[in-house]
Amino acid sequence: METHEIIRRFTDHFVRGGHTSVPSASLILDDPTLLFVNAGMVQFKPYLLGEVPPPYPRATSIQKCVRTGDIEEVGKTTRHNTFFQMAGNFSFGDYFKAGAIEHAWNLVTGSQDSGGFGFDPERIWTTVYNDDDEALELWRKIAGLPEERIQRRDGKDNYWDMGVPGPGGPCSEIYYDRGPEHGRDGGPVADEDRYLEIWNLVFMQDVRGDESPKYGHPPIGELPNKNIDTGMGVERVAYLLQDVANVYETDLVRPVIARAEEMSGRRYGADPVDDVRFRVIADHARSGVMIIGDGVTPSNEARGYVLRRLLRRIVRSARLLGVHEPVLGSFAEVVRDAMAPSYPELVTDFERISAVVRAEEDAFLQTLTSGSRIFDTAVTAVKKAGGNQLPGDQAFQLHDTYGFPIDLTLEMAGEAGLSVDEPGFRRLMEEQRQRAKADAAARKTGHGDVSAYRAVLDAHGTTDFLGYTDLTSSSRIVGLLADGVAVPAAGTGTEVEVLLDRTPFYAEGGGQQADTGVLRGDGFAVQVRDVQSPVAGLNVHRGVVAEGEARLDAEVHAEVEISRRQAISRAHSATHLVHAGMRRALGDSAAQAGSLNAPGRLRFDFTSPAGAVPDSVLHDVEDEVNAVLLDDHEVRAFTTTLDEARRMGAIALFGERYGDSVRVVEIGDYSRELCGGTHVHRSGQLGLVKLLSESSIGSGIRRVEALVGLDAFRFLAKEHVLVSQLSEQFKARPEELPERIGGVVERLRDAERELEKVRADAVLASAGALADGAEDVEGVALVAAAAPDGVPGNDLRALASDVRGRLGARAGVVALFSASGDKLSFVVATTEAARSQGFAAGKLVPSFAGAIGGRGGGKPDLAQGGGSNPAGVPAAVAALRSAVRSAATG
């Protein structure tokens, strides 16, 4: 049974059972505890936590997931994967244990002819939480399982919670017996390779406290509504139903290995070492394409760093298989073709995905080149010292600083006849992991206390947003908070959070800044400074009571600051136009990666794997956008289904979560995007869009900043005044200014170079006098003197070398000092004859450095440094003289 058929049957089974089919969420959600979505329940957290009323009592989904904790183990075993698909069914206060068990049993053991998976009931085992007698009896009653095939396990295996205080509950897991050839008898508690877990049913019924029931601590209460959260591993079910050895040989993964076989000329299954490399390629290629598909680009931080590791491990594995030409683009094509039936967006967005992987591969190949040079230097040093092992800290530096994979280091070291201190490398890697975990734990915010907001939501429902059409409204205060606590009233000067039954105020979101304004009631006013939505569906107005006493349940007149809203709306509409213009100029790879819509200005971030955007392209985009303004297109917003919006070609933003019903914003036929923000009514209302700059903000991510409307006009007016002033100053027409100014700059550079030459010649002219003034210190010619102030370091070195040369065959030491303000530079040089007597420039520095508050060092023939006490030069000269005398007579 093909994987896409498994997915179809799962979805159909639960839709027939009254569940709403919910599309997979993006791998990137706004959750501070997660880099990537790692379980099917993540997108349903607000419903399971009771933060938001669920829009349906039952749901089912096939969620794409990425787990990155075991990247280093991928390929070494057949169990570890980074990307996988989690099929799940969810009940929000509807059915509970009996319903979950019945649904799962009917699908798992139902005949394939009737739409089930057709697993042999006699080979199914289950586990239940230690004291969950109810689940055990339900398995006996509903499935007819004998008690010997239902095993009890402790909380570490069969209790689920989120790792923080909140909902939790016992689990029941479904296992399939693969047969005695895969391990010993005794059920899952004896051997989880033979008895393979395929489905986990979580009975969410408890409220856990600070300590988890996973470790024997009792729950602190029961949930008012009991929920069901289940997860079935699609890939695991696929390899069982396809009768292959592991997930790497299933229909959606094996094609990547086949492509790697074609490119390398090697065969999967012929060599255990090569097999690891084949599996790494297959797993990481899927993960990389899916992650890029959801808008992540390679970088050195967070998600981007994980993606970079995955892609670079593919390239490294391919090289170890003997493939040295580019590979990522080819593997991405295979993943696209395999996964497209379930994720058609991979086809429509493949140009961008392909551009990202190719750019990253080019960058990594350069890294391999530079890393190889560092590696060769390290190998030479080890051999010169008579060693036969590359130190662990050097292997770690190659990995951490230069991105050089440890496996490649091991292989290259072996070719060079060296081993690698792997324990030392692993120790440093583990220390880094622990630091990362500690950092992540420090940043992990979990779920803040939103109980006060939820109380308002439960009592009064969601906020009715009127802001698309109205900038004022008559509203009622349904929630009033001070310092996060609900209060009946708040007096003048109090910082408050006000929740209204209806509001024209836009809450910050989608890159658009929040509205500001005022709430006026009978005898009081609240100045609104910010609006946020900490709980979906609620607009929270944050500000200060400007006069009187604000009261709960009071009627207010809500007024948005009109000029600010209009300026922000112009900026938001301009962002849509700039996005459309960039995609027209650069292709679909120029996808929005972030934005800021503020009064009169915008910031637009977008993916650009090819690097900087040429000025000519920016000028063309600016002209095209302003032409759209002149055409004065209608700006239309309407609601439709997500599928219909995609059919119309509406652009969806990466990482955004969309429901079945979406809002589309059209600007004529030029731009069409899914958007919840506010906009102008016609494009001509923008007035003017002026692109100010384009720059890099990370690997593959560029940023354009622009001004809109009156702000753009004012900017151009200032530029006009500046150009007029320059024209007057240079006595040239505006179009002649670049050439005229360029000529002046070039003449200045020529003058600076000539001045520098004159200064250097003047410095070097003193070399003869300094050499002639050398004093004899026990047979050593010593030149220790202050050079002219402000001599640059290069000139000071040149002068010292010239003086040394004039000393000829004599044993000589030269020390020159040059002050620049309260700083001091020095150079020490020795002749060959002095060095043969044991005088080394670098070793002489400590003898006088203390007198000038300095430090430095270098080689035996030349050393240099600096100090912070120019007044100490005479004492330094005396100290050096004494050191030379002692060394000459000693």
Is 572 labelled a binding residue?
yes
- β-sheet bridge partners, residue 824: 819, 867
Confidence of residue 199 (pLDDT cuts 50, 70, 90): very high
Rounded CA-CA distance 852/838 in Å is 24
- What pLDDT shows up at residue 446? 39
Structure tokens at 808: 């000829």
Rounded CA-CA distance 800/826 in Å is 10
Rounded CA-CA distance 537/217 in Å is 35
- What pLDDT shows up at residue 32? 66
Has residue 440 got a pLDDT over 70? no
- What pLDDT shows up at residue 448? 44
Q: What is the rounded average pLDDT of the residues 138-149?
A: 96
Rounded CA-CA distance 61/20 in Å is 9
Q: What is the rounded average pLDDT of the residues 354-362?
A: 89
Coil vs helix vs strand at 466 = coil
- Report the side by side order of strands in the sheet with 601-607: 592-598, 601-607, 701-708, 689-698
Confidence of residue 763 (pLDDT cuts 50, 70, 90): low
CB 322 within 8 A of CB 264: yes
Q: What is the rounded average pLDDT of the residues 560-585?
A: 96
- β-sheet bridge partners, residue 820: 823
pLDDT tens, 75-95? 776 666 899 999 999 999 999
Q: What is the rounded average pLDDT of the residues 476-501?
A: 94
Residue 316 Cα distances to 197, 309, 364, 415, 619, angstroms? 32, 10, 9, 16, 40
Coil vs helix vs strand at 451 = helix
CB 700 within 8 A of CB 608: yes
Coil vs helix vs strand at 257 = helix
Instruction: Tell me which DSSP letter residue 320 carries.
Output: H
Has residue 438 got a pLDDT over 70? no
Rounded CA-CA distance 520/559 in Å is 8
- Reported as type and span, the H/E element at residue 292 is helix 272-293
Rounded CA-CA distance 113/637 in Å is 47
Rounded CA-CA distance 487/763 in Å is 78
Structure tokens at 65: 């997931």
Rounded CA-CA distance 205/191 in Å is 29
CB 656 within 8 A of CB 645: no
- What pLDDT shows up at residue 442? 47
Determine what percent of the chain is predicted with pLDDT higher than 90. Answer: 62
Rounded CA-CA distance 500/478 in Å is 5
Structure tokens at 425: 């490398």
CB 876 within 8 A of CB 814: no
Coil vs helix vs strand at 46 = helix
pLDDT tens, 605-636? 988 877 889 999 999 999 999 999 999 999 99
Provide the strand spans (E) within 444-563.
Answer: 464-465, 472-482, 485-486, 489-490, 495-500, 502-503, 517-521, 524-532, 540-547, 550-551, 555-560
CB 303 within 8 A of CB 36: yes
- What pLDDT shows up at residue 611? 80
Residue 883 Cα distances to 273, 850, 852, angstroms? 62, 13, 16
Is the model more confident about 123 or about 447?
Answer: 123
CB 117 within 8 A of CB 237: yes
CB 318 within 8 A of CB 260: yes
Q: Give Cβ neighbours of residue 379 (< 8 Å, ≥ 6 apart).
A: 390, 413, 416, 418
The pTM of the full predicted model, rounded to 2 decimals, is: 0.66
CB 89 within 8 A of CB 18: no
Has residue 449 got a pLDDT over 60? no
In angstroms, how far is the first alpha carbon of the chain from the final one? Answer: 90
Provide the strand spans (E) within 133-194.
Answer: 150-153, 159-161, 166-177
Within 13 Å, how many C-alpha atoms sit on residue 520's CB side?
A: 6
- Is the torsion defined by CA of 75, 78, 81, 84 positive or negative? positive
What's the burial of 761, exposed, middle or buried (CB within 10 Å: 0-12/13-18/19+)?
A: exposed
Radius of gyration for the chain, computed over Cα atoms and rounded to the nearest angstrom? 36
Is 447 labelled a binding residue?
no
pLDDT tens, 14-65? 999 999 999 999 998 866 678 899 889 988 988 887 777 889 999 999 999 9
Confidence of residue 74 (pLDDT cuts 50, 70, 90): confident
**192-219: b or e for each residue (b if 16 or more CB lie within 10 Å)?**
eebbbbbbbbbbbbbbbeeebbbeeeeb
Coil vs helix vs strand at 283 = helix
Has residue 436 got a pLDDT over 70? no
Structure tokens at 860: 């035996």
- Report the DSSP pairing between strands 83-92 and 701-708: unpaired
Alpha carbon 130 to chain centroid, angstroms: 40
- β-sheet bridge partners, residue 862: 829
Nearest to 227 by CA among 142, 170, 155: 170
- What pLDDT shows up at residue 880? 94
The CA-based dihedral angle spanning residues 185, 186, 192, 194, taken in that order and rounded to the nearest 10 degrees: 20
Residue with tokens 């955004």: 656
- What pLDDT shows up at residue 444? 39
- β-sheet bridge partners, residue 481: 486, 497
Least confident segment among 365-379, 462-476, 549-563: 365-379
Instruction: Tell me which DSSP letter residue 872 carries.
Output: G
Nearest to 719 by CA among 683, 684, 685, 688: 688
Within 13 Å, how many C-alpha atoms sit on residue 46's CB side?
A: 18
CB 503 within 8 A of CB 541: yes
pLDDT tens, 280-305? 999 999 999 999 998 888 887 788 88
- What pLDDT shows up at residue 79? 64
- Report the DSSP pairing between strands 389-390 and 419-420: parallel
Nearest to 42 by CA among 55, 25, 54, 57: 25
Report the mean per-residue pLDDT for the chain. 90
**Region of residue 216 (left: phi > 0; alpha: psi -120 to 50; beta: else):** left
- What pLDDT shows up at residue 836? 92
- What pLDDT shows up at residue 737? 85
Is 579 labelled a binding residue?
no
- What pLDDT shows up at residue 6? 97
Rounded CA-CA distance 154/131 in Å is 9
Is the model more confident about 409 or about 872?
Answer: 872
CB 676 within 8 A of CB 509: yes
Is 4 labelled a binding residue?
no
Within 13 Å, how many C-alpha atoms sit on residue 178's CB side?
A: 23
Q: Give Cβ neighbours of residue 263 (< 8 Å, ≥ 6 apart).
A: 318, 321, 323, 325, 327, 330
CB 823 within 8 A of CB 852: no
Coil vs helix vs strand at 641 = strand
Rounded CA-CA distance 852/879 in Å is 11
Rounded CA-CA distance 352/608 in Å is 9
- What pLDDT shows up at residue 613? 92
